[in-house]
Amino acid sequence: MKVTKLWGSLVLAGSVVLTAGCGGEEKAAGIDPKIMADSLFAVMASDRANYTKLIIKRLGAQGKFIKPDEHWEDLENGAPLPAQMFRFGAEAVAERTDAFTYSLQSLWPINKQNAPVTEAEKAGLQYIVDNPGKNYYGEEELGGVKYYTAVYPDVAVATPCVDCHNEHKDSPRTDFKIGDTMGGVVVRIPM
Amino acid sequence: MKKGVRKVTLLYSLLTIAVLVMAGIWANELFMKTEKETFLIGETTHGHHQIEMACATCHQSPFGGGDVLQDACVGCHAAELKAAHDSHPKSKFTDPRNADRLEQIDARYCVACHREHQPRITRDMGVTMATDYCVACHKDIAEDRPSHEGMAFDTCASAGCHNYHDNRALYEDFLLQHSNEPAISAQPIIAAMQAYVAEPAAVNAAPQPDYPVQTFKAAEAEKQWLHSAHATEDSNCSSCHGAGERFTEQPDALVCLDCHQAQAEGFLTGKHGMRLAVKRDAVESFPLNPSLKALQNPEVRLLTPMTPAQGRLPFKADVHDQSLTCNTCHGAHDYPLGASAAVEACMGCHDDRHTNEYKASPHYALLLREAAGELPAGSGVTCATCHMPKLESEQEPGEFHTQHNQNANLRPNEKMIRTVCLDCHGLQFALDALADPALIENNFQGRPSVSIDSIKMAIERVKE
């Protein structure tokens, strides 16, 4: 009788340990990378639009309070351009975590280093230009690691965006209009 | 047979004893001695050789690899890279899209280009990477910049056009902004120096010196002190020598940092003072703790002050064994400032051609004219004007102090364009002069014999 009780206890304890060790089915499944990428992009896009409209457009018009400039560090009241602010965010995130990365790229980049490099980036950026309003989702392997890669359209929301890109001496395209897809945000999540 | 066994046993015993003795000697050096020369696998670079025996400054963990070394690099150099608006920060390379580039050069780690203990392949600025490293990422540059067509890939960073980290005075828009400047400006004045000397000095009635011992030496020191800016209640004798039981005739080498924190920080991170910043627990040395107070205890410090004999530049023979502390340049009680500390102190030790030609240079002629009252304050150019410039405090705008890390403004030498050269010279002249080794060596006596095309190329590109 005692032996039966002992075995019963051991089996029960083993089950508990195994269940706890596995973490349950729900935990093992994790978050869908598409939902994660979409959520991350929602935060990025909101912050980017707010910085553009609430800071740059409101305080930087005619350089009244701040002067948005590519070389803002050289100016006493200089402020980073929205695209630079976005990049600084991506760099700061990269210093805190490697759970995801993001970058701003374009088929017509002012800085050539921001042109698509990988096949997924090339396909994704072309897709969002050819299919306005749609996102691109794919997978790719880089440096021996598999990634879930999402590309979201970066649309011109304010005249300074369009004017700056059309007038910049390094810009390969000079006919952007409000509402155009000027580039894309590439979000990458290791799988 | 037994004899043979005994011989073998004896041999093995002797070998074991020899191994144990060697291990003991090495262990003693490894764990007990400050100098660990046996374990130095190769000469270190000019930037690190003074502290190479404090192995743990960089090798912070015996089991550490790339990341441990990287932390050590960043610990000392992160602030200056940030100040230089580093053109190639690590964050540019951590994105997986750069994976194929990292296979060529793993630019996330400083040691990819700056490998230590490799004297045979170490070039200027401690670079050990092959000179054509730019090609790894920029081989297609001529597609965007046709003017770069045909340029050799080892000329990007060696021809006065680009630097890997610091391009604050070399980027295209800056070149355009300064494209029409004369070689010498109409009012050549070092603005920061002018502001520095314009700061009103406190004028107080000299207090009674509180030095407790009356000796001839003390009386001499008192005279010097009474004629110095230290002749105040706040910096009386006891401020440095201690009061009561704490009195000492020889204050610590770093006593000055009690009041001169900003200057001490520069001194302790530069070649003159870095040895004094290394703690016995070398891992704790860098980055410098904002509270430098602990370093005033000689028991905390691992290394002795630097002497010219330990340097790699030419120094005068009679000062080879002189310890380098604040008082070496500034004196103890008369602490000469101005031309004395900014020229004579430097020339008292340094014995290279650039230094020795200084008094024949136009910069020195300006200093003499300023001293004679013929030119306004800030017109003269001393050694310190370029190598230890006056900087405006970020915390207290309007306040200026001297950067005591002489390397912070030197390597690469284009670093001094914005902080110093442009106050008096046009950008084209400054670029040309700094790219002319012969002109640098004779301390700028004459005009540059080389011409850097950056500004011309930037102008032509805009015209396109």
Q: What is the pLDDT of residues A18-39, one digit of tens each?
A: 444 444 444 456 899 999 999 9
State which amino acid sits at residue A50. Answer: N
Q: Cα Rg for chain A, rounded, in angstroms?
A: 24
Helix (H) or strand (E) holding A141: strand A136-142
Rounded to a whole number of angstroms, the distance from the CA of A5 to the nearest CA of chain B is 50
| Domain covering A31-190 assigned CATH 3.30.450 in the classification | yes
- Count of domains forming chain B: 2
Q: Measured between CB atoms, does A121 come within 8 Å of chain B?
A: yes
Rounded to a whole number of angstroms, the distance from the CA of A168 to the nearest CA of chain B is 10
Rounded to a whole number of angstroms, the distance from the CA of B102 to the nearest CA of chain A is 9
Which long-range contacts does B211-220 make (Cβ < 8 Å, 24+ apart)?
Answer: B211/B237, B211/B238, B211/B241, B212/B247, B213/B249
Grouping H, G, I as helix, E, B as strand and the rest as coil, residue B393 is coil
Place of tokens 């013929």: B374
- Is cis: bond before B212, omega within 30 of 0? no
B125 shares a domain with B195: no
Residue B455, in any domain of the structure? no
Closest-CA residue to B353 (of B464, B461, B444, B223): B444
Q: Which residues of A touch B171 (CB under 8 A)?
A: 71
Return the bridge partners of A79, or none. Answer: A68
B328 shares a domain with B254: yes
Helix orientation angle between B454-463 and B427-434, rounded to the nearest 10 degrees: 140
pLDDT of residue B312: 94
Residue B167, in any domain of the structure? no
Q: How far apart, in whole angstroms, are the C-alpha atoms of residue B125 and residue B123?
A: 6
B365 shares a domain with B233: yes
pLDDT of residue B460: 93
- What's this model's pTM, rounded to 2 decimal places? 0.86
Residue B200, in any domain of the structure? yes
Q: Using alpha carbons only, what angle is made at residue B392 by residues B398 and B354, rounded to the nearest 5 degrees?
A: 140
**3-state DSSP helix/strand/coil % of chain B, to nearest 5:** 50, 5, 50
Q: What is the DSSP string of B142-191?
A: HHH-GGGTT--TTSTTTSSS--SS--TTTSHHHHHHTTT--SB-SS---H
Q: Which DSSP category does B450 fall into?
A: -
Q: Measured between CB atoms, does A76 come within 8 Å of chain B?
A: no
CB-based burial label for A18 (10 Å; 0-12, 13-18, 19+) = exposed
Q: How far apart, in whole angstroms, are the C-alpha atoms of residue B415 and residue B160?
A: 12
pLDDT band at A182 (very low <50, low <70, confident <90, very high): very high
Interface test with A, best of B81, B90, B97, B102 (most A CBs within 10 A): B97
Helix (H) or strand (E) holding A81: none
Residue B140, in any domain of the structure? no
Q: Using alpha carbons only, what angle is made at residue B136 by residues B134 and B137, rounded to the nearest 5 degrees?
A: 80
Q: Measured between CB atoms, does A187 come within 8 Å of chain B?
A: no
Is the CB of residue B390 less than 8 Å from the CB of residue B401? yes
Q: How far apart, in whole angstroms, are the C-alpha atoms of residue B101 and residue B107?
A: 9
Query: pLDDT tens-digit profile of B400-446?
Result: 999 999 999 998 999 999 999 999 999 999 999 999 999 999 999 99
Per-position pLDDT tens, chain B of length 464: 577 888 899 999 999 999 999 999 888 887 777 677 788 889 999 999 999 988 889 998 877 778 999 999 999 999 999 999 999 999 889 999 999 999 999 999 999 999 999 999 999 999 999 999 999 899 989 988 899 999 998 889 887 899 999 999 999 999 999 999 999 999 999 999 988 888 666 556 678 888 887 777 788 888 888 888 888 878 889 999 998 888 898 999 999 999 999 999 999 999 999 999 999 887 888 888 777 899 999 999 999 999 999 999 999 999 999 999 999 999 888 766 667 889 999 999 999 999 999 999 999 999 999 999 999 999 999 999 999 999 998 888 888 999 999 999 998 999 999 999 999 999 999 999 999 999 999 999 999 999 999 999 999 998 87
Residue B184, in any domain of the structure? no
Strands (E) across B301-455 are located at 390-392, 400-402
Assembly ipTM: 0.78
B114 shares a domain with B195: no
Q: How many residues does chain B have?
A: 464
Using alpha carbons, list the distances in angstroms from residue B176 to A71, A165, B170, B180: 13, 19, 10, 8
Q: How far is CA B32 from the centre of its chain?
A: 30
Choose the closest CB to A101 out of B95, B103, B174.
B95
| Pairing label, strands A181-190, B400-402 | unpaired
Q: Which residue of A has its CA nearest to B137?
A: A113
Q: How far apart, in whole angstroms, are the C-alpha atoms of residue B201 and residue B415?
A: 31
B123 shares a domain with B233: no
CB-based burial label for B117 (10 Å; 0-12, 13-18, 19+) = middle
- Is cis: bond before A153, omega within 30 of 0? no
For chain A, positions 162-181, list CB contacts with chain B under 8 A.
Answer: 169-170
Cβ–Cβ gap A188/B174 under 8 Å: no
Q: How far apart, in whole angstroms, are the C-alpha atoms of residue B175 and residue B277?
A: 39
Is the CB of residue A173 less than 8 Å from the CB of residue A108? yes
B364 shares a domain with B221: yes
The tokens for B157 are 């960073």
Residue B8, in any domain of the structure? no
pLDDT of residue A58: 87
Rounded to a whole number of angstroms, the distance from the CA of A188 to the nearest CA of chain B is 8
Share of chain A above pLDDT 70, in %: 85
For chain A, the average pLDDT equals 86
- B406 phi and psi angles, rounded to 5 deg: -65, -15
Q: What is the DSSP string of A150-185?
A: EEEEEE--SHHHHHHHHH-TT-S-----TT-EEEEE
pLDDT of residue B286: 83
Residue B172, in any domain of the structure? no
B204 shares a domain with B125: no
Q: Cα Rg for chain B, rounded, in angstroms?
A: 27
Longest Cα–Cα distance in chain A: 90
CB atoms < 10 A from the CB of A133, how many?
Answer: 8
B239 shares a domain with B384: yes
Interface test with A, best of B87, B95, B104, B171 (most A CBs within 10 A): B95
pLDDT of residue A26: 46
Grouping H, G, I as helix, E, B as strand and the rest as coil, residue B90 is helix
Full residue range of the structural domain in which residue B389 is found = 191-424
Cβ–Cβ gap A142/B99 under 8 Å: yes
User: How many A×B Cβ pairs under 8 Å?
Assistant: 49
**What is the per-residue burial (b if ≥16 Cβ within 10 Å, else e) of A163-178?**
ebbeeeeeeeeeebee
Cβ–Cβ gap B174/A118 under 8 Å: no
pLDDT of residue B201: 61
pLDDT of residue B311: 94
CB atoms < 10 A from the CB of B345, how many?
Answer: 18
Q: Which residues of B touch A94 (CB under 8 A)?
A: 91, 94-95
Q: Which residues of B touch A145 (CB under 8 A)?
A: 96, 99
Cβ–Cβ gap B92/A147 under 8 Å: no
CB atoms < 10 A from the CB of B133, how many?
Answer: 20
